[in-house]
Amino acid sequence: MKLVNMTETHAEIAIFGEIGGFFDGLDAKTVIEDIRAKIGNSPRVVVNICSPGGSVIDGLAIYAMLKSIPAQKEVRIAGVAASIASVIAMAGDKVVMPAAGLMMIHNPLAYAGGDSEELRKAADMLDTVKNSIVSAYALKTKRKDEEISEWMDGEKWMTAAEAKELGFCDEVEEFQAAACAVGKLTVPETFAALFSAPQVDPEPVVEPASEPASEPVADPANIIPELEAKCAEMSARLESMEKALNKKQSEMDKAKAEAKAACEKLEKVKAKAEKDMEELRAQVDKLGGGFRMPETAGEGPTDWKSALAANGGDYVKTRKSHPQLYAQFMKQNKKN
């Protein structure tokens, strides 16, 4: 931001580039101090804006400061006013856009991390910020909050004509370049002033007759500390969420490693069990039909007397069908 022109009739300032200290752009403190130092008691202030947007906190503070100035404010969009820059433009009693200018409005954004509670807090904070932005747009356009909210949901880009139709702009300016005697082109005085030394404003001073007076706004001196505190709180919250996210990630990595080790151990146990089962089957094949696996033990006689009874007392038949039980029976008789 810089002072472009200063006369007895008006002060002209420019807000070019990104908004906010986080983006190495124009932070609210610098902009507001410049405004206080440079515009003095000027009855009229011209604010030239060309910005893609940036920090919502800084942008709202600049908007509030401009709204509180008792001077008549004219905002001129020098190319594009997007995101929070479009909110700053709403501080103008009169907003002028070139025919080729653009304006964009959308929902506020934030980067968040952490548990579900932290994410819910971040979402609630964004809803609150959106309500503040909607109020600024509604105050200028006289449109309903619901209608503006829907436009923001869809990220609405507007030409100068569309912005005027919807109330975001008051006047569309057609610029025509003219050739001078030496064949060079001249540009509109307002834009030439942005890149030249201070000069006398060629435009006559016209006292607005029907322009609505600026509505009273709270003293920025009280707003800025509150916004700075909110910014510090958000930064601390984001740092806390980042630490929580890192902790959760570490716990997940540890659990993943433990699960992998358990799976590998299970595979080894499974392989050993399959090997033991193969060896057991081989032993069964060698022993013949008299030996039964434990899982089928309840399907037939479990002792010699039961087997003998099942075969009608036929000793020879029982001995052939159940040699294992016979061997156990003979072994038991020897002990007795």
**10 part of the active site:** no
Q: What is the pLDDT of residue 327?
A: 83
What b/e string do you get for 251-272 counting C-beta neighbours within 10 Å, with b at 16 or more?
A: eeeeeeeeeeeeeeeeeeeeee
Q: What is the pLDDT of residue 313?
A: 81
**196 part of the active site:** no
Q: What does the DSSP 8-state code read for residue 197?
A: -
With 0-12 / 13-18 / 19 or more C-beta atoms within 10 angstroms meaning exposed / middle / buried, residue 96 is: buried
Q: If the chain, 336 residues long, is cut into consecutive pieces of 10 residues, what is the mean pLDDT of each piece?
A: 63 86 68 76 88 89 88 92 94 94 91 81 87 93 95 95 95 59 34 36 44 50 68 75 82 87 88 82 60 51 82 82 83 72
The residue annotated as part of the active site, out of 42, 83, 86, 322, is 83
Phi, psi of 172 (to 5 degrees): -105, 125
With 0-12 / 13-18 / 19 or more C-beta atoms within 10 angstroms meaning exposed / middle / buried, residue 125 is: middle
CA gyration radius, the chain: 42
Q: What is the pLDDT of residue 177?
A: 36
Per DSSP, the three-state class of 165 is helix
Of 110, 131, 138, residue with least CA distance to 122:
110
Of 159, 157, 138, 155, residue with least CA distance to 147:
138
Q: What is the pLDDT of residue 39?
A: 77
The residue annotated as part of the active site, out of 51, 68, 86, 106, is 106
With 0-12 / 13-18 / 19 or more C-beta atoms within 10 angstroms meaning exposed / middle / buried, residue 190 is: buried
Q: What is the pLDDT of residue 219?
A: 56
Of 177, 265, 190, 152, residue with least CA distance to 4:
190
What number of other Cβ atoms are within 10 A of residue 122's Cβ? 19
pTM for the full predicted model:
0.53
What number of other Cβ atoms are within 10 A of residue 143's Cβ? 16
Q: Determine contact, residues 223/64, Cβ cutoff 8 Å.
A: yes
- Please tell me the distance from the alpha carbon of residue 16 to that of residue 2, in angstroms, as a whole number: 9
Q: What is the pLDDT of residue 52?
A: 92
Q: Determine contact, residues 83/18, Cβ cutoff 8 Å.
A: no
Q: What is the pLDDT of residue 107?
A: 93
**Given 3-state DSSP classes, what are the helix, strand and coil percentages for the chain, each rounded to the nearest 5?**
55, 15, 30
